[in-house]
Chains A and B, each alone.
Chain A
Amino acid sequence: MGRRLYAYPYHLWTFLFTVVPLALIVYFAFTARDTAAFTLDNLRQAAQPVYLGVLWHSVWLAGVSTFLCLLIGYPMAMILAKSRVRYRRMLTMLIVVPMWMNFLLRTYAWMTLLEKNGAVNAFLGFLGLPALHILYTDYAVLLGMVYNFLPFMILPIYSVLMKMDKSLLEAAEDLGADAWTSFRRVTFPLSLPGVYAGTIMVFMPAVTTFVISRLLGGGQYMLAGNVIEQQFLAIGNWNFGSALSVLMMILIFLSMIGLSRYDKDSDGGLFL
């Protein structure tokens, strides 16, 4: 009984800041702008090829950046898990400390680093290498996403690897598995919950970002987040903006269901 009493503030919190806003977004998405009558026009408008193209581009960019994060983050997590305690603490700090700095500031820094007369090109020029012109392209946006969201991939994988029963690896070794086989058959399958968690934690902010694409993409490529932001702030059409948000939530929800299907054997329920 006492425990249930303590839970009320959390229920209230969830209700006020999750259920109510969600309900509002759904309400706006299905009502007309001026009459507030029920309509599907907003969703129909959101399903136009122009906007679907934007949505697809966002999903694609977020997918690529998630994949890159996994590619870079997994080995990093393994190195972390295997290093000695003293180094491990330092390495974890090195990953986490940049996150203490404001996200916007770090993205601004990349903007300055990558520009035509910026530090990266000055360095390349010093080495006699040709200059890099990636600012205001997809590559810069990808770089920004991977840079900003990489810790969200490393940390969940790392925590799963740390909790893994090491005797299983010893058993695999005793039974004659080489390093690659024991990674493929033991370590990797056991780390999948971490991989799923990391994938979701990178994919979600990447697919909804509008700051990275605006700063590093120079407004060249509108992502879903930019279109939604524009509808709310510049155009003032909350109904259409909400419809786009709903469409996006459905998309994310479907991809999460898809992912959790592969997650049947492990702990599951990590993100659903």
Chain B
Amino acid sequence: MWEVMNEMKGMKKAFFMVLLCGVLAALLAGCGGGQKTAKRELKVYNWGDYIDPEILKSFEKETGIHVVYDTFATNEDMYVKVKAGGSDYDVVIPSDYMISRMIRDGLVEKLDFSKIPNYAKIDAKYKNLDFDPKGEYSVPYMWGTVGIAYNTKMVTEPVDSWGILWDKKYEKQIFMLDSPRDSIGITLKYLGYSLNTGNEEELAAAGKKLVEQKPLVLAYLVDEAKDKMIAGEGALAVVWSGDAMFMIEKNKDLAYAIPKEGTNLWFDAMVILKGAKHRAEAEEFINYMTRPDIALKNVEYIGYASPIPEVAAKLPEDVRKNIAAYPDDALLKDAEVFNDLTENMPKYDKVWTEVKVSK
């Protein structure tokens, strides 16, 4: 019955979010209506459930800028929509490899950092990363890792290698991510290759490894894995760090590990789209989101890691010390950031299809 209850909780949460969005939208519409002067507006496009809605309200109150807020589910969805044009968003918050693709495609605008003074608060190690080498286009929003969430009641040995996902002991107790980039990526890391490889032999080796693993895998999931792990339906799952934080909060038997072979380190950052109609407002918004008190409020709400040291330092100790949220540098020694793979992506797709259709 508990699983049912958990599911219900999940549904309740989803319902609540929908309700909240509705209320928020109504509220925003209400705010906008009464103003006589030409109202300032801003269109923001972000991942679903990836901001504290209170912050949007306080931003509107402080600046008088009316925010139109939409969400997307994957980088690819967002890209297809923005690329097609006609959506006229000002601020978008994609991930690393997608930002490099958007820079290459000329979809984003260079930022005027004199309008974003809070950029200085961000730790230098999160600036000028490969996806935006000169740090001209993006302001880091959140970061995290991919790792293994495991149930300490079912897995008593130490979890320190991706290899445990190939251990026959855990047959039909493993959840993999239903995402070619991530699942092939960690397999490449396990085999000692780069997770950005375009080498067909390396990819074929990873594919073979994943086919070999398939009989042990209970299911390939994305969002459902959270609920399943919380309900004790599996022993091991490949998850994103923020999801791990959420799961551990709901079920204290769960823990998170970053394997020694290295993992994927990812960053989501704020960009302004080329030709944005509300450039000044967009920069004001980015600066607001980077203000330490606001960033802290946001991080406390969504549970991912902040690139602002001042913010991280203010978090409760159990969060700060949790490797799911803030892994120390030693664990990230071999971590890699995704590059944009536009040309090589069909190879990944083919490997993944072969894995999925194998028996």
Contact = CB atoms under 8 A, between A and B. Distances in A.
Contacts of B354: 50
Contacts of B172: 133
Interface in B157-188: 172, 178-180
Contacts of A117: 2-3, 231-233
Nearest to B234: A116
Given A218-B219, A218-B220, A234-B180, A116 B233 contact: yes
B197 to A, nearest CB: 18
A236 B228 CA distance: 29
Contacts of B345: 235
A136 interface: yes
A254 interface: no
B1 to A, nearest CB: 7
Interface in A90-138: 108, 111-112, 115-119, 122, 133, 135-136
A209 interface: no
A218 B3 contact: no
A227 interface: yes
A240 to B, nearest CB: 8
Given A112-B4, A122-B1, A235 B357 contact: no
B349 interface: yes
A218 B174 CA distance: 12
B7 A220 contact: no
A115 B27 CA distance: 41
B353 interface: yes
A210 B7 CA distance: 22
A54 interface: yes
Contacts, number: 76
Nearest to B231: A117
Interface string B171-210: 0100000111000000000000000000000000000000
A239 to B, nearest CB: 11
A51 interface: yes
Interface residues of A, number: 33
B217 interface: yes
Interface in B241-292: none
B105 interface: no
A54 B76 contact: no
A227 B353 contact: yes
A114 to B, nearest CB: 10
A237 B3 contact: no
A11 to B, nearest CB: 28
Given A112-B4, A112-B7, A219-B178, A233 B76 contact: yes
A135 B231 CA distance: 15
A73 B4 CA distance: 30
A220 B218 CA distance: 8
A107 B324 CA distance: 32
A62 interface: no
Contacts of B232: 117
B85 interface: no
Interface in B129-180: 172, 178-180
Contacts of B80: 233, 236
Given A117-B3, A117-B233, A54 B218 contact: no
Given A115-B3, A133-B172, A221 B356 contact: yes
B1 A119 contact: yes
A205 interface: no
7 contacts: A112-B3, A112-B4, A135-B219, A220-B214, A233-B77, A234-B74, A235-B349
Given A50-B353, A219-B220, A234-B179, 19 more contacts: A51-B353, A53-B357, A108-B7, A115-B3, A115-B228, A117-B232, A135-B219, A215-B224, A218-B221, A220-B214, A220-B220, A221-B357, A226-B356, A230-B349, A233-B74, A233-B77, A235-B76, A235-B349, A236-B80
Interface of A: 50-51, 53-54, 57, 108, 111-112, 115-119, 122, 133, 135-136, 214-215, 218-222, 226-227, 230-231, 233-237
